[in-house]
Structure 1
Amino acid sequence: MRCVCDQCAAADSAGTGKCLKDFWIFDHFCESQLQDLQTIGIRREIPAGQLIFNQGGKADELFLIRSGSIKLSKVSEDGTEVTLDFRRYGDVLGEDIFSGVEAYPVSAMAIDDTVTCGFNLSDFQSLVRKKPDIGLSVIKSMSNKISALSNRIGSIAEVNLEDRLYSVLSSISKEHGCRIGDEYTFPFKLTHEELAFLVGAHRVSITKAMQALISKGRICCTNKIITLKNC
């Protein structure tokens, strides 16, 4: 299914490039560049539970999440599945294709019914050869993203597990969550096992750290939905 950004924009009367402007990877794009991208866009509707791409599969498409949420995971050599990250509206998936990798290093599965727009790698490369300024704009956006990821790595360096967990939760919630006043709420549920993989700790230790954060009023957790206080 071809991209319908122009139809969405017309209905929303917010300009032709509104759809793409929502994504960090196009922060440095001008209106004409966004219009060029729309000519090669592909729209997909992905039901909850469906695999979008598999670890080791051919890396040939970039996905821009329009709605829903996606879990990224990786299977280790001993067969253990490790949850690495979560992506939702406004996030980019499959950006590894810009680094020249031939296979996706992780698997991606839709947690909710998800809609994406995206680009085939060969189509994008053809467009960049015609208009090199598009490639330069992507490089600028990727550099900014690397800086943000470096800050998250700094959170993991916290020695105390309780503080480390809070720092990681804070970083992810500010990037993906919903803000109300001085509170951030996650848009999806996280199990203690998934949190353990994200923080780099045992599940039992995460349970104790979560209880400590709740007792101190730093977070609250209702039906596995986490809200951070004074974040």
Structure 2
Amino acid sequence: MRLQQNRLSGFEYLIRWQHPGGGILEPAYFITVVEDSSLAGRFTDLLISRAAQTLVQWKMEGREHLSLAINLSAAELGRKDLPGRLKALFSSLGVRPCRFEIELTGVVHPDQLDWLVDAIHAVQAIGVRVALDDFGSGFNSLTLLQQLPVDTVKFDRSLIRQVRVNGESQRMVETLVRLTQNHGKRIVLTGLETKEQFAWAKALPDIDIEGQGFFICEPVEEDYVDDVICRHEGGAAGKE
């Protein structure tokens, strides 16, 4: 949600595994296994295809202002064939690539930076946006902010959680927000889970930022996305 305008801006595509014995599993339970296997490329292609179909549906409904993001590891973002596949897919479907965003997740090692910069430029060249996810959760976050040419920086929920602890933590987060803005990045504050956190983020002066979190909307299945869009575009913000 664009907080200053009180307007829904997009969704993040989150995958779950409906395990026959373990119930619904979040990515933490299986994504590293997938990424370390021969299934990684097929997994990525599936996510991109499903996301593209959602964008096609939104286009038909006159909702092209909404964007959609998926999470990819550095290894998957660096696939040589990825830009070409994205370009061909979006062209065939008549979808604007700028409505699609790849969120770079996981640990990025220093020896990955050179080729990762090239990979980011390659997908940006076709109009796809790239976001640095989980900013502030690792020791090298500021280095990545400085060296990776991402379009968006998503603040980790652990930073936002500290806002309600004490004034010093709040000032630290606000300083990081302004630093990120000075680098010309789009800012997304994740983990907005309480009315107080939402109000704080919305009140940040002279900063056009976006927010994401349970207070705005909890994760929902695909069948309920239209309900969320209608509720927000009808003027509601946050939990009723």
TM-score by length of 2: 0.24
Larger Rg: 1
